[in-house]
Structure 1
């Protein structure tokens, strides 16, 4: 087997320092391989043979970027919790499409007090009207 780099015409002994510099700048082995016209694995193996493994520099986030990300996550979490709470409020507590007597009596009380039947049923059941009311209140 030919030494690393010979098969692609690269003298890795000379290029080792350039690869180290590129790694410090944050490039991955595959990106460095594109520069030299070979695979990232070839670059990694060639550096390993020469004992020149250099960790890639990770870009550090500033404190402002971290705070912004935390705020955005807090907003997303709050919106998700609110949506869950709303779904729980609107979620019908009926089984098999039949509403319990307590909900039907509340609807009846609202209608008797003069509320619009359709609006009263939407306020209690959301957009899902239980089976006994389908023909009655639209």
Structure 2
């Protein structure tokens, strides 16, 4: 196996200082590899042979980035909970197509107070109308 750098025509003994300078500027090994026309791992191996620390470090997020990520997650969670609650509300309020008395009495109260029967039914049942209400016209 050729010495590190000989494969790609880079004299790493000379370039070590440049690589260290680029690392201090925040460039990743893969970006440095692009500069020299080789892979991230070629650069890592060449630096490791020369005693340079090549441990992969996790990028540290700033407090603002962490706060923003938490806020976005909170918004997503709130929207998911809201959607789930709406779906639960619109879910069948009746069992086997028969509406419970409490739901029917609420619908009756709404109709008696002058609400449009169709709209009152939709507000309670969504677009699915239980069997006892089919054919009922206020």
Q: TM-score under structure 1 normalisation?
A: 0.73
Instruction: Between 32-41 and 46-55, report the one with greater CA deviation.
Output: 46-55
Q: Is the 8 A contact 1:12 1:46 kept in 2?
A: yes
Q: Aligned residue for 1:91?
A: 91
Structure-to-structure mapping, 1:11-90, within 5 angstroms: 11-54=11-54, 58=59, 60-61=61-62, 63-90=63-90
Q: Aligned residue for 2:118?
A: 118
- In the TM superposition, what is the alpha-carbon distance from 1:28 to its structure 2 partner? 1.9
Measured on the aligned residues, the alpha-carbon RMSD in Å equals 2.9
- In the TM superposition, what is the alpha-carbon distance from 1:39 to its structure 2 partner? 1.1
Show structure 1 runs of 5+ residues with no match. none
- In the TM superposition, what is the alpha-carbon distance from 1:109 to its structure 2 partner? 4.4
SS of equivalent to 2:43: helix
Cα 1:131–1:9 change in 2 (3 A) is farther
SS of equivalent to 1:93: coil
Aligned-partner Cα distance in 2 for 1:22–1:132: 76
SS of equivalent to 2:53: coil
Runs of 4 or more above 6 Å deviation: none
- In the TM superposition, what is the alpha-carbon distance from 1:105 to its structure 2 partner? 4.4
- In the TM superposition, what is the alpha-carbon distance from 1:37 to its structure 2 partner? 0.6
- In the TM superposition, what is the alpha-carbon distance from 1:118 to its structure 2 partner? 1.2
Deviations 1:6-40 (A, max 9, x none): 01110111111211222222222211111001111
Q: Is the 8 A contact 1:31 1:40 kept in 2?
A: yes
Show structure 2 runs of 5+ residues with no match. none
- In the TM superposition, what is the alpha-carbon distance from 1:116 to its structure 2 partner? 1.2
| Count of residue pairs the alignment pairs up | 135
Deviations 1:50-90 (A, max 9, x none): 221245584652x4454444444433433333333233222
